[in-house]
Structure 1
């Protein structure tokens, strides 16, 4: 069996139309077609956030949330690439996610083939003045000077890119197809990791996908919003325009995935290859007052991601499951699918193969997500989300079935639910012993022995 992982960066679950979220602004026909032949998970969550901790969890099958932040792989880390290479697989990595190829990151270790596609976000590959774009067209009057310089850096990499094939996401998928063709010609089983930075900001979709904004808007095209309160830098019209750019970027990403899947189908690769398509996390779009990622934004817009597994020939496909999963489960699941499950003993993740084949259920009753340096943690099961906040702030509990957009905090009437979630997660995940803390209690017991 061949294995292909397609990592999309910052794709929210509610922007994949197959998932059926109310208010999904786009159609994603290629991801939807894949999902129709696949096992689709509703509740597989990142553990350590963001970009690099996520990939550390996925590559190693270990949890980073308890002990490491954004950092390179260390010599003693054992990655999925190393394991599959030992077992005779041709291993390959194709990526435009530039954090992976920064000095000393080591994510291409044990790859027989690796390709770096340049030009995402702040990738240091261009300098000099802009030739086609203007900074003034992409910032608001209320953005500070330091942020304007950030935007300028991102615009350099966007400058001159117009057609879909000009952008790194398409180039990554196109390069991946060539790698698959070479691997099949070599007649060796292959494990390919494809890692694209789309639809991560800056959001500048090709014109044919930039169709979700309001007609008549004539303000700036804010491709890279700041992370503070959105009302501090943008008007309601400008904020809606930013959200429309993300929607266009997500639609473009689906188009690029379609290019990959169409090429694989044409060369017969879908018959003998297991494909996993997922995103490392979502992206806040002012759902709770801010854009960009942060430990204070532990809501579904950040944590709910697509996780789609198509087995060779579409076996066991056409199912949607609510079973819980953790990102460290990916490597043991892939090993299990390849018949190499004895490697599981060395991993903290668990194989989800029984869930994929319909012969078993999730081994978890709760998951935990967070940023290692931060106090905040989000504990979830299939129905509830419990957000632990820093000292002096009330904790939050949301009923995801009744309130999927997390607008009503029910912690005061749901402390037993919160405690039950807390009981499922070990203390190693927390900087201090946590206990459910409601709105009333937060302020009334402050600076007392009860705090």
Structure 2
């Protein structure tokens, strides 16, 4: 009957354990004779896996991703079959990326705040379809809800939200949204700020800070913290601005009591 609908689907995969259906397990070496490693460990890979085993685990992950891709295709076909596809906003994203031993470790964590963890899959299809395009605009998850409300004609309901609609980016009117993003990990004091050119990891627990030039070194291999202290100080100042904001701390009441939260972005 073509009523308005909202549908949230959590595929869970490609989450560990990585054990893809056989039909999608086509990215591993068929002659592999090593251990059955469907659940990677978080320690440095040199401590528990050979290069062949690392390649095998990555292949299993690729098989899981291929499985999700297949079933998303079935979902989209179902939307088309029932007449919903053309008028739907479709968002495909994830709560985080996944380190695949890019910096010698698998799994998420405070010591892994690099692009492979922070730069999440994020694809949006607008009603009617406007052709595929990529944008360098920097956005964060808390920008998604205001954007969806804006698309639904409820942009005036977003003034109290921390996020900001990036609908102009989706319409192709601009490729600029935020100057930078700030993020962290709940079990670690490490925090990270990234803009288009730099990524700075501040490690208050005593480990060395890290600074990477994302234009020259997008895989974040060469720590330039000693060569560019001015850039590190510039980015570190943004942490202070965010956490000094009057609205940086809010109380959230839920079924388990009261929680103190801090969040923020660089406009």
Please tell me whether the aligned partners of residues 210 and 245 of structure 1 are also in contact (alpha carbons under 8 angstroms): yes
**Partner residue, 1:191:** 6
User: Is residue 2:190 matched to residue 1:391?
Assistant: no
Q: Contact 1:367/1:380 (CA < 8 Å) preserved in 2?
A: yes
Corresponding residue number in structure 2 for 1:278: 93
1:239 maps to 2:54: yes
Distance 1:429 1:377, change over 3 A: farther
CA RMSD of aligned residues (A): 1.8
| TM-score normalised per structure 1 | 0.52
Query: What does the per-residue CA deviation read over 1:146-174, in whole Å, with 9 as the maximum and x for residues that have no partner?
Result: xxxxxxxxxxxxxxxxxxxxxxxxxxxxx
Q: 2:119 aligns with which of 304, 311, 318?
A: 304
Structure 2 distance, partners of 1:368, 1:297, is 15
Equivalent residues in 2 for 1:65-80, closer than 5 Å:
none
- Structure 1 residues 290 and 281: alpha-carbon distance in aligned structure 2, compared to 1, 3 A threshold: same
Where do residues 334-413 of structure 1 align in structure 2 (5 Å cutoff)? 334-413=148-227
Structure 2 unaligned runs (5+)? 245-267
Q: Which runs of structure 2 are paired with 1:43-442 in the superposition (5 Å)? A: 185=1, 187-315=2-130, 317-427=131-241, 429=243
Q: Distance in 2 between matches of 1:359 and 1:408?
A: 35
Specify every segment of 5 or more residues in structure 1 that has no aligned partner in the other structure, as ranges: 1-184, 431-451
Indicate conservation of the 8 Å contact 1:295/1:374, yes or no.
yes
8 Å contact from structure 1 (residues 199, 253) kept in 2: yes
| Distance change >3 Å, CA 285–CA 361, structure 1 → 2 | closer
How far off is 1:361 after superposition? 4.8
**How far apart are the structure 2 equivalents of 1:236 and 1:284?**
16
**1:267, CA displacement in angstroms?**
2.3
Matched position secondary structure for 1:208: helix
- Structure 1 position 369, deviation (Å): 1.2
Query: Using the alignment, how far apart are the partners of 2:215 and 2:72 within structure 1?
Result: 30
The answer as to whether partners of 1:325 and 1:362 remain within 8 angstroms in 2 is no
1:69 is matched with which residue? none
Q: What residue in structure 2 maps to residue 89 of structure 1?
A: none
Normalised by the length of structure 2, the TM-score is 0.85
Deviations 1:321-379 (A, max 9, x none): 10110110010000000000111112010001111112345442110111134211111
SS in 1 for 2:188: coil
Q: Residues 350 and 366 (structure 1 numbering): CA distance in 2 closer, same or farther, change over 3 Å? A: same
8 Å Cα contact 1:366-1:424 kept in structure 2: no
Post-superposition shift, 1:276? 1.0
Q: Distance in 2 between matches of 1:219 and 1:260?
A: 36
Contact 1:366 1:421 in 2 (8 A): no
Q: For 1:360-409, what per-residue CA distance to the aligned partner results, in whole angstroms no more than 9, with x for missing partners?
A: 45442110111134211111112221111133222111122222221111
Compared CA separation, residues 195 and 227, structure 1 to 2 (3 A): same
Deviations, residues 105-162 of structure 1 (Å, cap 9, x unaligned)? xxxxxxxxxxxxxxxxxxxxxxxxxxxxxxxxxxxxxxxxxxxxxxxxxxxxxxxxxx
Contact 1:367 1:425 (C-alpha < 8 Å) held by counterparts: no
Between the aligned partners of 1:426 and 1:256, the Cα distance in structure 2 is 44
Change in Cα spacing, 1:421 to 1:265, as seen in structure 2 (3 Å) is farther
**SS of structure 1 residue aligned to 2:37:** coil
Distance 1:402 1:364 in 2: 21
Q: Kindly indicate whether the alpha-carbon contact (under 8 Å) linking 1:396 and 1:410 is maintained by their aligned counterparts in 2.
A: yes
Query: Number of paired residues?
Result: 244
